[in-house]
């Protein structure tokens, strides 16, 4: 029986990745389709991906598959053939990362986004909190491509809804898009229904990073009585690639937050966010270098230097201590949801 897990440490795996000479391509994909035995599907899928030296994060559930992976360039054709050979994944749309050719702000290039392969079985491929047995993903909104999205966005009868988290919305979004201000997708769904309750006859276009959240959200809106519901095909990633290919106006401003080591890919030159420490224009997310904190926040280059990559003077002082002392300080510590939520002031104010 082949080994279905990684034997090397995270540090060793990351070192091997950075030593690779061959370019990699970051690809995301998902599909809602019924998988009768997710565990069996997972084991077979892991073996096939591992043979192609694919890294990344894959979730399998009865409702389908959701994945973000990094594929060696020489195995790209074999990877596409593998996807096409799996019943239920024929004709799968593969979203290629917008920035896969070069690194930015000392972040890894798009292809070096993952250094380990993890294929996990979950209850759902995106946690939604929906327990209504009458909810049906087959009844979902209409796809809109980049051109149709641009055209509909000019219609005053259209409402554009961002179905991502607050920290994603903060660094980049479509023109005139409204935010559903919550920390999780499961919170957003009922909030979206409530916020748009008086707009059931308007055109509602929902979007997210790669399409998986807004596709489910469109089905949920139809389930709750909305009539003209659309969702952006392939999300922001596909939109950015298509407007570039077709020389269409780009209506997305700023950066697209991504859930890998890059933490963002630039879609336009606009910087619409601000450093959480000094307020200067900035849109680079980082995790506090204090292992007892790891707060996700936005930091400009000046504050990065001043705070040694930390979120506060306290954390800056802690990382200057001996490693054993740092370990003792964080022993038994519960960091909780360490994301800086500026709108709700949930996290402590960053201070100099």
Predicted pLDDT of residue 73: 92
Average pLDDT over residues 197-226: 94
Do 113 and 146 lie in one domain? The reply is no
Which CATH number is 182's domain given?
3.40.250.10
Query: Which range (26-30, 96-100, 258-262) has the least confidence?
Result: 96-100
Do 23 and 107 lie in one domain? The reply is yes
Beta strand spans in the chain (E): 24-32, 55-61, 64-72, 95-96, 117-121, 142-144, 158-162, 172-174, 178-179, 203-207, 228-232, 252-256, 265-266, 285-287, 296-298
Q: Is the pLDDT of residue 344 over 70?
A: no
Do 154 and 85 lie in one domain? The reply is no
Do 90 and 157 lie in one domain? The reply is no
Do 39 and 113 lie in one domain? The reply is yes
Name every residue whose Cβ is closer than 8 Å to that of residue 6 and which is 6 or more positions away in sequence: 13, 116, 117
Residue 245 lies in a domain: no
CA distance 167 to 340: 8
| Cα four-point dihedral sign 337, 160, 194, 185 | negative
Do 74 and 154 lie in one domain? The reply is no
Do 26 and 56 lie in one domain? The reply is yes
Predicted pLDDT of residue 1: 47
Predicted pLDDT of residue 123: 94
Average pLDDT over residues 310-334: 87
Structure-block tokens of residue 280: 């200067």
List active site positions. 208
Residue 266 lies in a domain: no
Residue 257 lies in a domain: no
Structure-block tokens of residue 45: 């899928």
**Contact yes or no for 329/200 (Cβ under 8 A):** no
Q: How many separate domains does the chain show?
A: 3
Do 147 and 232 lie in one domain? The reply is yes
**How would residue 286 be classed by pLDDT, with cut points 50, 70 and 90?**
very high
Residue 137 lies in a domain: no
* pTM of this structure: 0.79
Name every residue whose Cβ is closer than 8 Å to that of residue 290 and which is 6 or more positions away in sequence: 310, 311, 315, 316, 318, 319, 326
Residue 247 lies in a domain: no
Do 115 and 151 lie in one domain? The reply is no
Do 17 and 117 lie in one domain? The reply is yes
CA distance 258 to 269: 17
Mean pLDDT of the chain: 87
Residue 183 lies in a domain: yes
**How would residue 10 be classed by pLDDT, with cut points 50, 70 and 90?**
low
**How would residue 110 be classed by pLDDT, with cut points 50, 70 and 90?**
very low
Q: Is the pLDDT of residue 5 over 70?
A: no
- Where in the sequence is the domain holding 216, given as residue range(s)? 142-240
Q: Is the pLDDT of residue 134 over 70?
A: yes
Predicted pLDDT of residue 339: 56
**Contact yes or no for 111/23 (Cβ under 8 A):** yes
Q: Is the pLDDT of residue 107 over 50?
A: no
Residue at a domain's end among 86, 121, 156: 121
Do 230 and 279 lie in one domain? The reply is no
CA of 114: how far to CAs of 107, 257, 259, 343, in Å?
Answer: 12, 15, 10, 31
Residue 255 lies in a domain: no
Residue 4 lies in a domain: no
Which CATH number is 93's domain given?
3.30.70.100
**How would residue 333 be classed by pLDDT, with cut points 50, 70 and 90?**
low
Do 19 and 112 lie in one domain? The reply is yes
Predicted pLDDT of residue 198: 92
């Amino acid at each position: 029986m082949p080994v279905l897990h990684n034997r090397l440490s995270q540090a060793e795996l990351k070192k091997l990745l950075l030593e690779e000479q061959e370019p990699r391509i970051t690809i995301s994909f998902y599909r809602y389709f019924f998988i009768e035995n997710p565990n069996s599907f997972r084991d077979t899928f892991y073996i096939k991906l591992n043979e192609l030296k694919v890294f990344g994060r894959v979730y399998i559930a009865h409702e389908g598959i959701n994945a973000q992976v990094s594929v060696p360039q020489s195995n790209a054709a074999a990877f596409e053939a593998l996807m096409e050979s799996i019943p239920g994944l024929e004709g799968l749309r593969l979203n290629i990362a917008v920035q896969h050719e070069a690194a930015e702000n000392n972040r890894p290039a798009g292809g070096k986004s993952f250094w380990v392969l993890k294929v996990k079985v979950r209850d759902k491929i995106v946690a939604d909190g929906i327990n209504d047995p009458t909810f049906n993903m087959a009844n979902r909104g209409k796809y809109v491509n980049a051109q149709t999205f641009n055209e509909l966005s000019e219609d005053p009868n259209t409402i554009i809804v961002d179905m991502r988290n607050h920290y994603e919305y903060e660094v980049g979004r479509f023109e005139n898009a409204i935010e559903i201000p919550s920390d999780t997708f499961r919170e957003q769904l009922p909030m979206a229904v409530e916020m748009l309750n008086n707009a059931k006859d308007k055109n509602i276009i929902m979007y997210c990073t790669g399409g998986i959240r807004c596709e489910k959200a469109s089905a949920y809106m139809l389930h709750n009585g909305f009539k003209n519901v659309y969702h952006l095909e392939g999300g922001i990633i596909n939109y950015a690639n298509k407007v570039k290919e077709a020389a269409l106006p780009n209506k997305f401003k700023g950066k697209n937050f991504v859930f890998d080591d890059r933490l963002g890919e630039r879609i336009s030159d606009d910087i619409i966010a601000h450093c959480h420490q000094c307020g200067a224009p900035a849109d680079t997310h980082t995790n506090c270098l204090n292992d007892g904190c790891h707060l996700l926040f936005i930091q400009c280059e000046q504050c990065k230097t001043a705070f040694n990559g930390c979120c506060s003077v306290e954390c800056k002082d802690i990382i200057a201590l001996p490693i054993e002392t740092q370990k003792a300080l964080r022993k038994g510590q519960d960091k909780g949801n360490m994301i800086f939520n500026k709108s709700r002031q949930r996290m402590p104010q960053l201070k100099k």
